[in-house]
Structure 1
Amino acid sequence: MSRYTITVTSDGRSDEDAVIGYDPPLRTFFLQAFPDESGDDLALWLGTSDREYETVDALHAAGRAKGFDFMPLPDSVALSLADDLAKEADRPRHDGPPAALMRHLQSD
């Protein structure tokens, strides 16, 4: 799983320690931002389901729909995310009982 620190903004606030990355087992990009004071909860956590956001553009659109923005990405982060996705292009789909259970639970 890759993780890169970026800045996410929302309603005049910014989280300079937000995290964007790619999760190979879930085959999705993810975004985490704005932890609460305890650090246990996040105001924004996208990309927790199988193939939820297959492109950074889809992740960006979902974030904006919830009132959060993270564009433009630094060039180094954008290139690293593209490289992370390319490395996983030939990875076989996860099969077996745990993967089947996760697909079943997500379909409900």
Structure 2
Amino acid sequence: MSRYTITVTSNDRSDPDAIIGYDPPLRSFFLQAFPDESGDDLALWLGTSDREYETIDALHMAARSRGFDFMPLPKDVVAQLADDFARDAARPPRDGPLAAFLRHLQSK
């Protein structure tokens, strides 16, 4: 799993320590921002399901639909995310009992 620090904005606030990355087992890009005081709960956490966001554009649209933004991304982060995706895209999909169980949980 890759993790890169970026800035996410929402209305008049920003989170300069937000995290964007690619999760190979889920085959999805993810975004985490605005933790509460305990650090356990996030105001924004996208990309927690299998193939939920297969492109940065899809992740960006989902964030914007919830009132958050993270564009433009730094060029080095874009390049690293593209490399992460390309490296893991060739992996076969997860299969077996655990994968079936996770798909079952996500379908509920």
TM-score range, shorter chain: over 0.9
Aligned to 1:79: 79
| Aligned-partner residue type, residue 30 of structure 2 | F
Gaps of 5+ in 1: none
> Could you state the TM-score of these two structures normalised by the residue count of structure 2?
0.98
Aligned to 1:9: 9
Give yes or no for the alignment of 1:43 onto 2:43. Answer: yes
Deviation per CA, 1:19-72, whole angstroms, max 9, x where unpaired? 000000000000000000111110000000000000000000000000000000
Q: In the TM superposition, what is the alpha-carbon distance from 1:11 to its structure 2 partner?
A: 1.1
Aligned-residue RMSD, C-alpha: 0.5
Aligned to 1:34: 34
Q: In the TM superposition, what is the alpha-carbon distance from 1:89 to its structure 2 partner?
A: 1.5
Distance 2:90 2:9 in 1: 34
Aligned to 1:90: 90
Aligned to 1:106: 106
Where in structure 1 do 4 or more consecutive aligned residues deviate above 3 Å? none
Comparing 89-98 with 58-67, which one deviates more in the overlay? 89-98
Q: In the TM superposition, what is the alpha-carbon distance from 1:85 to its structure 2 partner?
A: 0.3
Gaps of 5+ in 2: none
Q: 3-state DSSP class of the match of 2:101?
A: helix
Distance 1:14 1:51 in 2: 27
